[in-house]
């Protein structure tokens, strides 16, 4: 792609970007600038990551040895529930929206997101949602204790009284996500620089485009199901109450009809980030670009017809079990296409191993392990054994932590020079990587065996034979938690200063974002670049 | 001149944007509605297929006719009281043998063991779920609410037959009743 950049940022007169001049807190409250909003999303998600991580540390401290030491079982349930909710809706998803805000306009040569004011709103309602969720720890009821999947009747008949706050918080998160997603779709459809056809868009843009559609399709379902929960709990309806003619299994169907696409919402953007970084450090073009686009689209489509693989043990008829088993295994095909394309991209490339690349390679390997355990869980007969054990916990932490989270780290290191104008400290970055890599595997790999041996998830105590493995898992957990403080140090140091970053600090990097200065000026591409 | 053009394209872009937004909002509201539509759809789907083990909640009509004496089906009864209802509740006999097409009458015993009046509601479910559509209740205490005064006891009847069309591979059915306290809901 050759580009002709005319985006000299002083060359536009008569524009009225008043937000530019504001200072202090007002700048952040009123800003409609995609870079400001992107930064806020990223910081927000990092803070949530630390809070959710702190909850996990308490969980692992309790599980360090058998018996009950630190917390009451009910509080333990609150910890696992809020940990899950914060990590999914507060850490992973906002981080990706942060990337979208920062990078999408620059990658498609647009001056900003299409709907800047909406953008401001979708960010600023988020802190309220999480204030409510986290605040419920300090209320009389206590925080939600029914699991991040909030199955009825745990969240209705047997709720500890936190359901209303929980529903309210989820509604706000949902509205924020929907507004963010609408913004992404409109931006990509209408703001591309002339000449950038759909099939010329970077794969990063494609994955966010498809993810945004998934969000628009399933977040309303989530809003619907929590609304039903609310009326069941407080207004006497019986959607999920068998006594009134409802069916609790229906809850699981509706929830997972949202829930499975949701897990792909958390991984497709990761695919986009990794597909940007691996070619850059292999100094080759991404292998099989168009097959990547189609694979992403087919994963998104298939994600709508596999939801009941979370429900194999609810007493489905044989036909249903077979149907959902085969559909689930089908997803492995486009996912495999992606993994092979990444490997083919690296094949015979002149590779270097800076921190973004290290995280990306770890992503490819460890995400694949998570995919394999997913395939095992997809086999109905064996899922009867694995369901609700630590094997499932191991599975989704491999895809979410060493998958989604590692891609976020990779992307952060990759674009930090563009964001701050300085190079991060490569040595510290590598220390962060190796500490994370070792501790994360110590943390999650033994969970596979614990699950196979029958240790149930979401229980604060366990049988003696699981003691040794749990001790190691907890040690891995503490080490992983501490390692993330290294990342915080790297980022702060990089913002403060360091070696000046050139416009394009990575030799093999491609894309419009590298044609503007580092740090990226407040306004970029006010005149669209030409692409041919 | 140049500014005019810019204005024009800006308007164009805004029109294009709002068109897309409108379409996307349509999806949003459509999917919100679809979430709720899943509730009746699920009921209909289960009604047709018997997927969730729900049995008929309107009395079936029995007409004496063929009885398939070549097959004998075991029908087991189990009962459960939901959390918070202080009743004793159990079947009088635990299982019966029945030929498809033959009518049977069995009894369930319930006693309110508390010193307040309570309205109970029994909710039936058949396992395996696919058999639910072939299990026909002619008369059942679960069709109505069951008020019991403090310490009152009662024997409640269930009259049923198993449909001739019951799939070959099914030889045992389990009918399970869960008893709920619905006093609060009845009052309001
Ligand atoms: C190769 C693709 C995948 C397959 C075949 C697969 C399959 C499964 C299956 C069958 C379960 C249910 C296990 C049970 O509860 O018994 C499950 C759970 C889960 N999966 Fe995956 N999965 C895949 C990829 C992913 C990805 C990419 C993510 C997210 C990034 C993910 C996140 C989850 C989560 C969060 C759960 C647990 C939900 C819960 O019960 O709390 N999976 N997976
Ligand atoms: Cu799933």
Q: B-chain residues within 8 Å CB-CB of A316?
A: 51
SS3 assignment, position B144: coil
Q: What is the pLDDT of residues B30-62, one digit of tens each?
A: 999 999 999 999 888 887 776 767 777 777 777
pLDDT at B127: 82
B31–A14: do the CB atoms touch at under 8 Å?
no
List Cα–Cα distances, B123 to A3, A128, A178, in angstroms: 69, 41, 39
d(CA A92, CA B66): 63
d(CA B184, CA B188): 7
**Closest partner CB to A243 (pick from B20, B32, B182):** B182
**Smallest CA separation from ligand 1 atom 1, residue:** A371
**Which chain A residue has its CA at the smallest distance from B50's CA?**
A317
SS3 assignment, position B126: strand
CATH code where residue A209 lies:
1.20.210.10
Position of tokens 């749990």?
Answer: A470
Does A523 sit in the ligand 1 pocket, CB within 6 Å? no
How many domains, in total, are found in chain A? 1
Please choose from A306, A369, A374 the residue to mutate so as to test ligand 1's pocket, defined by most ligand atoms within 8 A of CB.
A374
Position of tokens 């953007």?
Answer: A269
Task: Flag whether residue A118 sits within 8 Å of chain B, measured between CB atoms.
Answer: no
Q: Which residues contact B105 (CB under 8 A, 6 or more apart)?
A: B157, B158, B159
Q: Which domain holds residue A208?
A: 2-9+28-193+202-230+250-515
A261: nearest Cα among A385, A188, A177: A177
Supply φ then ψ for residue A502, to 5 degrees. -75, 175
Supply φ then ψ for residue A230, to 5 degrees. -60, -45
pLDDT at B131: 84
Please choose from A256, A309, A331, A408 the residue to mutate so as to test ligand 1's pocket, defined by most ligand atoms within 8 A of CB.
A309
DSSP B83: T
Chunked into runs of 10 residues, chain A (532 residues) has average pLDDT values of: 41 44 81 94 97 97 95 96 97 97 95 93 96 94 94 91 94 96 95 92 96 97 96 91 86 96 96 97 95 95 95 88 95 94 95 96 97 96 96 97 97 96 96 98 97 96 96 97 97 93 93 93 88 73
Which of 2.60.370.10, 3.40.50.1980, 3.90.1150.10, 1.10.10.10 would CATH assign to domain B73-185? 2.60.370.10
- The residue ranges of DSSP E strands in B86-165, in sequence order, are 87-91, 95-98, 103-112, 118-127, 135-140, 146-148, 153-162
Whether residue A441 is contained in a domain is answered as yes
Position of tokens 């670009």?
Answer: A289
pLDDT at A3: 43
CB A513 within 8 A of CB A103: yes
Residue A11, Cβ neighbours under 10 Å: how many? 9
A320: nearest Cα among B63, B42, B175, B144: B42
List Cα–Cα distances, A211 to A205, A250, A286, A327, in angstroms: 10, 26, 20, 20
DSSP A243: G
- Strand B118-127, strand B146-148: pairing: antiparallel
Whether residue A285 is contained in a domain is answered as yes
Which of A354-358, B94-98, B172-176 has the highest mean predicted lDDT (pLDDT)? A354-358
Please enumerate residues of B whose Cβ is less than 8 A from a Cβ of A: 3, 13, 16-17, 20-21, 24-25, 27-32, 34-36, 38-39, 42, 46, 49, 51-54, 57, 82-83, 121, 123, 127-130, 178, 180, 182, 185, 188
SS3 assignment, position A425: coil
The number of the ligand 1 atom at minimal distance from the alpha carbon of A270 is 30
pLDDT, mean over chain B: 85
Whether residue A400 is contained in a domain is answered as yes
Does the structure show a pLDDT above 60 at B76? yes
Q: What are the structural domain ranges in chain B?
A: 1-49, 73-185
First-to-last CA distance in chain A? 7
pLDDT at A65: 95
Whether residue A94 is contained in a domain is answered as yes
SS3 assignment, position B98: strand
Give the number of beta-carbon pairs within 8 Å between A and B.
93
Instruction: Choose, from A62, A112, A241, A354, the residue flagged as catalytic.
Output: A112
d(CA A122, CA A509): 31
Whether residue A239 is contained in a domain is answered as no
A221–B35: do the CB atoms touch at under 8 Å?
yes
In a 13 Å sphere around the CA of A376, the CA atoms on its Cβ side amount to 16
B45: nearest Cα among A247, A265, A429: A247
d(CA A228, CA A225): 5
B3–A14: do the CB atoms touch at under 8 Å?
yes
**Closest partner CB to A239 (pick from B39, B49, B127):** B39
Position of tokens 């997972």?
Answer: A256
pLDDT at A10: 41
Q: What is the pLDDT of residues B56-69, one digit of tens each?
A: 777 777 777 788 88
d(CA B34, CA A258): 12
d(CA A169, CA A127): 10
A490: nearest Cα among A383, A413, A436: A413
Active site residue A335: yes
């Amino acid at each position: 792609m050759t580009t002709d950049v005319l985006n000299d940022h002083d060359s536009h007169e008569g524009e009225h970007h008043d937000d530019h001049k504001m200072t202090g807190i007002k700048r952040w409250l009123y800003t409609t600038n995609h870079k400001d909003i992107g930064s806020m999303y990223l910081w927000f998600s990092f803070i949530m990551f630390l809070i959710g991580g702190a909850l996990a540390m308490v969980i692992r401290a309790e599980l360090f040895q058998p018996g009950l030491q630190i917390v009451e079982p009910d509080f333990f349930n609150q910890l696992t529930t809020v940990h899950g909710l914060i990590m999914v809706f507060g850490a992973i998803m906002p981080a990706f929206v942060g990337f979208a805000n920062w990078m999408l306009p620059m990658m498609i040569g647009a001056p900003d997101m299409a709907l800047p004011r909406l953008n401001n709103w979708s960010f600023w309602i988020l802190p309220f949602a999480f204030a409510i969720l986290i605040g419920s720890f300090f209320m009389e009821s206590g925080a939600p204790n029914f699991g991040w999947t909030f199955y009825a009747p745990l969240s209705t008949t047997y709720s500890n009284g936190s359901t209303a706050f929980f529903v309210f918080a989820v509604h706000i998160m949902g509205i924020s996500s929907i507004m963010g997603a609408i913004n992404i779709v409109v931006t990509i459809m209408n703001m591309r620089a002339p000449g950038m056809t759909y099939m010329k868009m970077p794969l990063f843009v494609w994955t966010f485009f498809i993810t945004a559609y998934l969000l628009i399709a399933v977040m309303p379902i989530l809003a619907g199901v929590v609304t039903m929960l609310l009326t069941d709990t407080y207004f006497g309806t019986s959607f999920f109450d068998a006594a009134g003619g409802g069916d609790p299994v229906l809850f699981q169907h509706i929830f997972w009809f949202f829930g499975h696409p949701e897990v792909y919402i958390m991984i497709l953007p990761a695919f986009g980030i990794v597909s940007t970084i691996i070619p850059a450090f292999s100094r080759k073009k991404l292998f099989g670009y168009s097959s990547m686009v189609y694979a992403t689209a087919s994963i998104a489509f298939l994600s709508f017809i596999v939801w009941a693989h979370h429900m194999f043990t609810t007493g489905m008829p044989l036909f249903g079990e077979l149907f959902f088993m085969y559909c689930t295994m089908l997803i492995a095909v486009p996912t495999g296409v992606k993994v092979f394309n990444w490997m083919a991209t690296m094949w015979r490339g002149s590779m270097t191993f800076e921190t973004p690349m290290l995280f990306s390679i770890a992503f490819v390997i460890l995400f694949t392990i998570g995919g394999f355990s997913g395939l095992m869980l997809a086999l109905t007969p064996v899922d009867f054994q694995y369901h609700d054990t630590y094997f499932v916990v191991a599975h989704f932490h491999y895809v979410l932590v060493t998958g989604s989270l590692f891609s976020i780290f990779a992307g952060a290191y990759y674009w930090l020079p563009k964001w701050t104008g300085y190079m991060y400290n490569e040595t510290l970055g590598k220390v962060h990587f190796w500490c994370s890599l070792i501790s994360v595997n110590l943390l999650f790999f033994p969970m596979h065996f614990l699950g196979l041996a029958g240790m149930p998830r979401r229980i604060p105590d366990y049988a003696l034979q699981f003691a040794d493995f749990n001790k190691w898992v907890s040690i891995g957990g503490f080490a992983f938690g501490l390692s993330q403080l290294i990342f915080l140090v790297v980022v702060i140091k990089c913002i403060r200063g360091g070696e000046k970053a050139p416009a394009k600090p990575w030799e093999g990097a491609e894309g419009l974002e590298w044609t503007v200065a580092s740090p990226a000026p407040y306004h970029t591409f006010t005149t669209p670049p030409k692409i041919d | 001149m140049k500014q005019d053009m810019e204005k024009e394209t800006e308007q164009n872009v805004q029109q294009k944007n709002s068109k897309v937004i409108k379409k996307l909002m349509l999806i949003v509201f459509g999917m919100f509605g679809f979430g709720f539509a899943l509730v009746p759809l699920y009921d209909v789907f289960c009604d047709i297929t018997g997927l969730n083990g729900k049995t008929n909640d309107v009395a079936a009509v029995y007409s004496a006719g063929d009885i398939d004496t070549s097959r004998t089906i075991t029908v087991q009864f189990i009962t459960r009281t939901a959390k918070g209802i202080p009743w004793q509740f159990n079947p009088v006999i635990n299982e019966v043998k029945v030929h498809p097409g033959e009518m049977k009458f069995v009894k369930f015993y319930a006693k309110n063991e508390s010193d307040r009046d309570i309205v109970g509601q029994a909710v039936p479910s058949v396992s395996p779920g696919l058999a639910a559509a072939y299990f026909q209740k002619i008369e059942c205490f679960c069709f109505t609410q069951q008020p019991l005064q403090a310490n009152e006891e009662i024997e409640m009847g269930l009259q049923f037959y198993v449909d001739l069309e019951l799939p070959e591979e099914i030889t045992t059915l389990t009918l399970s009743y869960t008893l709920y306290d619905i006093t609060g809901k009845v009052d309001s």
